[in-house]
Structure 1
């Protein structure tokens, strides 16, 4: 693969000049894990790089409905080497350190270096499911296998989306009824990621239609019911433009056995909590894609000769590469700032504190900003490759395709802006934001962002929504510029 991918075999951790500096600021245990992270940086540049490229081009998941004797099996056939890679990721403790250290940092650092949107999705969905079971259930054996602490390893999924219900979860139509101490779910999940791989999935369903969104609860749905039969049907697998390492499908729930997670009345809060983990995963994965595109473009520029000189020696190419590198730095700063604040509160349970709301505020900003930077960076890197970057045989082409999902997953930029606005106006966390950054930023920058926000508050409700993304971007720029790296 080194013949057509210039990032192949290059240690991603060693190549990145920004990561070391950022982690020294935000993660107190960084030095403890530095050598292991370095080993991981080498691993993801070889086996992981090759299998994800191969799956996308050659061996995407296939759904087999029936066995030779006509038994409904709904077997999702994935590349066998993918399973080996997942085992190896567990050996690197990509999820287990969250449980063992009661810390999220290690998971997110490895996620940044892994940064394949499909493969990392399998890891992150399992991670989120394990955390929710750890916090809100008694299924200790299951969540320990999900974290990768005990064997055999099992995997998780989170299924919320329906055909008429994406970001607006109040439109969920899947319902839950209890019978003989077992909850039974009926409905249709339109975009169920990790289907076929997931042994257990967290599923949203309404237990009381009259309560609207507060009538939603969260349930654990196993692949097989108590009789050992299929607990739901996989209707079909989705044809996606990217993220093909993770199978995504449509799932029909027909009296599917389920187990309530936590309390009925807190279901929507559990769902929103899951989105905190996944939005940070999306953020770190997005900027990780920018890193891969940077390595590809840099190494290509050192080899490609035009007009009697190597591309790397042309000022405009250097400027483009510096822009990508700077984008990566910005993304790392804003994401690890959000992670560092969430690290302080992730073990809280509803009702959440004001510090939790502050971490949520930063997460909306990070998710939006990193997706934007990822698309800009992968596109710029693709342009450096010229016409070859437009061909399917070019690795940079896939990296840009993978980046395109990052503004959509876990809520678009409009959703992030509106949710950020809700936290600001209803939870009143701006004072906490200013107090926090008074220890980090300089007075001139603080005065500027404070005045901007005061003027923003003078707008009508309509205007506040209309200009919410501008406010989101102002906060992004302020946070990025507050750290001297």
Structure 2
């Protein structure tokens, strides 16, 4: 019904009913580049179907509902029985159903599995980020479980299933699919998991190969507590299998159908990620668990899970940046001010182009890492080269891309003006979400120190990294100069820990520059090298050299909705 005083004009149409995958040139080109030629069309069609779902008004509404009606903890039923259940809005289950059905927990055994799964996680993550947590943990649990083949034989088919089967009404082994969570951190240790105090005692005195334990202790952060199974770390203190920090599998429902002891104490009241239930849980000495891997080797057992979730942190941040840039470029292409479209104004063009560069660099790096994960699963020298590259590139990307997410989203929000500050725009939800991935699975300092440790212990990892960036040698003088400066930094060990953040930042930027010089359009690579590597860049977005081809960069980033 028209307003009596005015009609609505000069408002952009909603950014819905488009293919999120195909409208993203940087992503689609990266997938085509890294996918095996004989599967490229199959992968493209799969991701395009998911992209159309992600761009639908229906899916966007699911994301809104899941965050506006957050999960609720029910510790007891109406009769006083302890149940420790979390209720979610139906939209949460619809989001997870589509994610699992699209194979976003199935990467480890399919050809190009990491590539298509990472690209899908990137696409579907632009609908809603919170449900990505159980999706990520389910995917990442597989390599850890493979350290215990008898458990992997049971659980890997369930975790890789394309069927979402929520509820704790039966053992997971009787369901068509399962979801996994993890519980690592404790209140006294945080990222320092070796400070964990949760105790694991062998059942009936233990014995070599038995592998059954009971746990006593707590976990300070345990996301998605309605998952079917969890990987946790605990200290083994007695029995014939040894002692030390060890990885365990903890099911919510025991094989006989009874509930395992898994006391959900409360849900965290978080800045963002509101749709996802992050909880505190306690184990009371009757919590049954199965050992995963060797006793005392908990960190090495879990390390591949850590690497996989770190890649998902990079992917999630890249997805948020892409969604924010899509919204900003779409809005400004339809909104007029001061006598013309915002997107045609030189200063707005500079801001949009700068944001687009950051997003495309993150996307290119994310997909390169995904392709390296695929290659690293094979054998031979190439596989080893990719494994060594990942040892440095994953923490560098985790550090840098997740750090860039918040300023990108904040600047994109400003492109919408006051409308961007209003909840209905969806931008505030993205802004609240944006710091999460820089904290999850190791904050910035943890990533920087991890990279330093890899440099000290694995000279071959540095060789692999330098080989990768060297593929663009001679193509851009600013990249060459930045590489030379990086080598000088790496050769100077004085005060290296205090300089670690700057070193990691530069490694990530040089790697991104190398990828863009090799694969991106010339105007994108030129702008990135001039600003990020050449130093012609201010402290805020929108300070690119005016001589660059800014309109082409913006047009490439704007999603085509027709």
Report the TM-score when normalising by structure 1. Answer: 0.91
Q: 1:157 aligns with which of 181, 187, 194?
A: 181
Tell me: CA distance 1:359–1:5, structure 2 relative to 1, closer, same or farther (3 Å): farther
Which residue of structure 1 lines up, in the alignment, with residue 221 of structure 2?
191
In the TM superposition, structure 1's runs of 4+ consecutive aligned residues that sit over 6 Å from their partners are none
Which residue of structure 1 lines up, in the alignment, with residue 373 of structure 2?
342
Is 1:262 matched up with 2:293? yes
Is 1:449 matched up with 2:483? yes
Q: Which deviates more from structure 2 when the two are superposed, residues 120-129 or residues 425-434? A: 425-434
Aligned mates of 1:164, 1:298 — CA distance in 2: 45
Which residue of structure 2 lines up, in the alignment, with residue 170 of structure 1?
194
**1:287–1:332 Cα contact (<8 Å) kept:** yes
Aligned mates of 1:17, 1:480 — CA distance in 2: 17
Aligned mates of 2:160, 2:146 — CA distance in 1: 10
Is 1:471 matched up with 2:503? yes
Q: Tell me the SS of whatever aligns to 1:344.
A: helix
Which residue of structure 2 lines up, in the alignment, with residue 385 of structure 1?
416
Q: Deviation string for 1:19-63 (max 9, x for gaps)? A: 122223333243331011011011112243221221212x10001
**Structure 1 residue 66 displacement after superposition:** 1.3
Q: Deviation string for 1:119-166 (max 9, x for gaps)? A: 111211111123432453323333212111565221100110111222
Q: 2:132 aligns with which of 113, 117, 120?
A: 120
Aligned mates of 1:20, 1:102 — CA distance in 2: 15
Report the TM-score when normalising by structure 2. Answer: 0.79
Q: 2:261 aligns with which of 211, 231, 236?
A: 231
Alignment of 1:209-358 (within 5 A): 215-226=244-255, 228-255=258-285, 256-346=287-377, 356-358=387-389
Which residue of structure 2 lines up, in the alignment, with residue 48 of structure 1?
59
**Structure 1 residue 354 displacement after superposition:** 7.3
Q: Tell me the SS of whatever aligns to 1:118.
A: coil
Tell me: CA distance 1:23–1:253, structure 2 relative to 1, closer, same or farther (3 Å): same
**2:314–2:398 Cα contact (<8 Å) kept:** yes
Aligned mates of 1:118, 1:322 — CA distance in 2: 28
Q: Deviation string for 1:385-441 (max 9, x for gaps)? A: 112222333211111111121211111122111111111122112223223443343
Alignment of 1:372-451 (within 5 A): 372-428=403-459, 429-442=461-474, 445=479, 448-451=482-485
Q: Tell me the SS of whatever aligns to 2:234.
A: strand
Aligned mates of 2:334, 2:176 — CA distance in 1: 45
Is 1:18 matched up with 2:33? no
Aligned mates of 1:66, 1:265 — CA distance in 2: 36
Aligned mates of 1:205, 1:344 — CA distance in 2: 33
Q: 1:64 aligns with which of 58, 61, 74?
A: 74
**Structure 1 residue 83 displacement after superposition:** 1.7
Q: 2:233 aligns with which of 187, 204, 214?
A: 204
Q: Give the alignment's Cα RMSD to 1 decimal.
A: 2.4
Q: Deviation string for 1:243-279 (max 9, x for gaps)? A: 1222110000112100011222432112222110000
Which residue of structure 1 lines up, in the alignment, with residue 493 of structure 2?
459
**2:376–2:386 Cα contact (<8 Å) kept:** yes
Q: Which has the larger radius of gyration?
A: 2
Which residue of structure 1 lines up, in the alignment, with residue 160 of structure 2?
147
**1:7–1:292 Cα contact (<8 Å) kept:** no
Q: Which deviates more from structure 2 when the two are superposed, residues 156-165 or residues 337-346? A: 337-346
